Structures are given as C-alpha cells and as structure tokens.
Amino acid sequence: MSVEVTRLPSGLVVVTDRMAHLETASLGVWVGAGSRDEQPDEHGISHLLEHMAFKGTSRRSARQIAEEIEAVGGDLNAATSVETTAYYARVLRADVPLALDVLSDILTDPAFDAEELRREQNVIVQEIGAAEDTPDDLIWDRLQEVAFAGQAVGRSILGTPATVRSFNRASLAAYLARNYRGPDIVIAAAGAVDHDRVVEQVERSFASFTGPAAPPPAPAHFVGGSRIESRELEQVHIALAMHGLPHRDPSLYSLQIFANVLGGGMSSRLFQEVREQRGLCYAIYSFHSPYSDSGLFGLYAGTDAADVTELMRVVVDEINAVAETANEAEVNRAKAQMKAGLLMALESSGARAEQLARQMIYWGRPIALDEIVAKIEAVTVESTRAAGRALIRRGRPAIAALGPGGGLESAAAIADGLARQAA
C-alpha cells in the first residue's frame, strides 16, 4: 500500500500517497474547522480567513504568494465548507518543497494587513451579491437555513455584508488561534511525493500549531420547515432536504445508493420520470451530504412556475416508490457508479489528496479502497429500501423555493406531506 501516515507530537497528521506514474503532486492543508465552528458574532469569518491567508505574510506580499507558485507552473487555491477549510496547491515534483513553504507561510504568519483586509471584505461583499443574483446557488443557502434553523451549521458560509465588514485583525487572529491547532490539521499529499521529506518539512514549518484540539461545535439538529421567496425569475428553483446520516453511520452506504437510484444520474427514477417522461424540467438530481454528527439528503429541480405543483407531486411519489420498490438492477447500477467514481478519483492526485484528508478527519485513518468497495458491495435491495423508509420517517423535510407564480406554497405543502405519509 502506497499510503503512509505520520502523527506528529502536536497531533498534526501527515498522510501521503505516492503515485509513481505521476510527475506532479497535489498537496494541501485541511483544517477540521468551517462555518459551523463560528460563534454567533463570527458569521462568515471562516471564509474571510481563507481569503486573508493569501493576502500577505512578513516574507511575502499577496502578489509574491501568487507569483512564486505560478512561476513554476503551479496553482494555489482554497475552499471553505461547513466543517473544513482547505488550502491546497498542485505543482511539479521538484516544487513540492516550495508549495509546502508557501502553504505554511500563509497559515503560520498571515499579516492581516488593515488595507488588505478592507479590500478583501469588499471582494467578499461582492461575492455575496453575486450569490444573491444566482438562484441555483442561493437556493442551497436557503435550504441549509431551513434545515438547520438558528444554528451555525445552517448559516451561509459567506456571511452577510454586515458581519463580514465587522471583522478586524484581532478577530481573525482569535479565530485562527482557537480553531487551527495541531490535532485539527491534516496535511495530505498525493502524486510525486516523498513521505519522509514532506514530514521533515512539515515538522519545521508547522511547529507553531500546538495545543489541544479546538472545542467541538454545537451538535446539529435538523429542524425542517419551508421558506418561499417570490422572485421575478424565468424558472422556479426548488430544493428539498431530509435529515440524513453522519459519516460513520452503518447505513451510510445504503442511503447513498438510495440517493443515486432516486436522482443520481440519467438512468435514475427522477430523471427518467420527471424529465424524460413528463418534460417538467431540465435539471433534477438528488444527493446525500454527511456531516460529523448529522447529514443532509437533498434534492433540486428547476422548472416552469406552471409545472411546479405537478413536479413536486411526482418527486414525493418517487421518493416513496424507491423506498418500497427499488430493484436489483437499479441498486447494482448505483453501486457500479459509486465504485467507478472511487476508481476515477484515484486517477487525480488532487482528488486523492482530498479523499485522504477527509478520511483522516472523519475516520482517523486512511481507508483502503478494498474496504470501501466491500461496504458498497454489502448494500442490498432491502437495505436500500430500508434506508429510504428510515429517511422518510426521520421527520419533517426542509423546503426552499425561489421564483415566480402562486404555486410555490402548494408545492411546499405537498413536500411537507412526506412526513405525514410516513407517520
């Protein structure tokens, strides 16, 4: 097995997978803290910190950070999610030390310059405005807010213009000190990498990340309900969520297969019935996103206002139908898609590094491909149906809708009937 793991005394983990056929490497720093780790007065600070990390250190200006990586043909980026924040690079084999040096520099010695902060706050406010103008993005923020109402896990990752503009150097430094600690950090690398050399450099460059693990976030509680917004749009955008499962739940793979059978591709029930047979929409799909202690089973469709009520009736019928009639051919097809996705990820060093980092964060160990495949293969028709039935019984769904017309309330009421039907 080419995967190697080293736990440093600080608790920081280094995990690598040497992919001998590659001349490039993907590497990054994954922090087990995201938007749900924010305090009530910190809404959006995780994302702002991610931006500010690239805006200069005592050794490099913001421009130099970008130029040093791009001068060797590499790229550098970052992403904030509900539970993690990642900073990552892709470079040639010879430039792995440079990428590690830049990544350690921006995280151990960010300048948080006042003028850079002012500019980046304005950039993020523009990003918030762009999201407000993009309904098929905005709908997910609205859905998360309804699903986990009144909780950090339910707030948008970007924050609001007011909260983003309220932060200063001290608040950024305090959030970083509280959440970026050795036990909460995984440095993952895949491709043309040497594990021992990566560990040696990490020991030197990330030595300042010490202390105990950050305090855990408040437990997530799925609430449900609906949020309807009338907007002058060409389409109605509607999303539905149900209370899903956490990463380590024994039924996770069965629920993932249920999601795939329902709306995971062109052969899925929803795509075939809603789009191909009835022509009610262009885009429709379902998915399941697990968290550390909860999960969100989601479904999205965009349709004409005149069709939204019929579409939702069909969606509810198909959710119930898959829970009762999912068959062997559908389950086997979904399992094949999951296994193919795993194997395809192994062909990308970036996807592989991210996969390893997430496994270390959520499972505490790298999970062998054979083990994952065995869990997928263990899913049966009955376990898929059972996962669907349990999903429907788990409580009131969350519904978010944006668009024109008077049918949004009736569509939401139809979706809300899922829980009543299961009672």
Domain assignment present for 107:
yes
Distance from chain centroid for Cα 330:
26
Q: In the predicted model, is pLDDT for residue 239 greater than 60?
A: yes
For residues 186 and 297, membership in a common domain is answered with no
Q: For the chain, how long is the longest CA-to-CA vector? A: 63
pTM passes above 0.85: yes
Domain assignment present for 148:
yes
Domain assignment present for 176:
yes
Mean of the pLDDT values across residues 97-116?
97
Mean of the pLDDT values across residues 43-66?
97
Residue type, position 157, single letter: I
pLDDT at 12: 98
For residues 32 and 60, membership in a common domain is answered with yes
pLDDT at 48: 98
Q: In the predicted model, is pLDDT for residue 1 greater than 70?
A: no
For residues 193 and 292, membership in a common domain is answered with no
CA dist 150 and 167 (Å) reads: 21
For residues 312 and 370, membership in a common domain is answered with yes
Q: In the predicted model, is pLDDT for residue 283 greater than 60?
A: yes
Q: In the predicted model, is pLDDT for residue 421 greater than 80?
A: no
Active-site amino acid positions: 50
For residues 28 and 88, membership in a common domain is answered with yes
pLDDT at 419: 63
For residues 174 and 255, membership in a common domain is answered with no
- Which CATH number characterizes residue 241's domain? 3.30.830.10
For residues 124 and 158, membership in a common domain is answered with yes
For residues 185 and 259, membership in a common domain is answered with no
Domain assignment present for 50:
yes
Residue type, position 395, single letter: G
- Contact call for residues 335 and 342 (beta carbons, < 8 A): no
118 is written with which tokens? 């002012």
Residue range(s) defining the domain that contains residue 128: 3-205
- Contact call for residues 239 and 399 (beta carbons, < 8 A): yes
Domain assignment present for 216:
no
Q: In the predicted model, is pLDDT for residue 423 greater than 60?
A: no
pLDDT at 399: 95
Domain assignment present for 67:
yes
pLDDT at 411: 78
Total Cβ atoms within 10 A of residue 378: 12
For residues 194 and 237, membership in a common domain is answered with no
For residues 22 and 58, membership in a common domain is answered with yes
The tens digit of pLDDT for each residue in 171-219 reads: 999 999 999 999 999 999 999 999 999 999 999 999 999 999 999 999 9
For residues 306 and 368, membership in a common domain is answered with yes
pLDDT at 422: 54
Mean of the pLDDT values across residues 312-323?
95
For residues 197 and 247, membership in a common domain is answered with no
The mean-pLDDT minimum among 75-79, 300-304, 323-327, 414-418 falls in 414-418
Total Cβ atoms within 10 A of residue 9: 9
Domain assignment present for 233:
yes
Total Cβ atoms within 10 A of residue 395: 15
How many domains, the chain?
Answer: 2
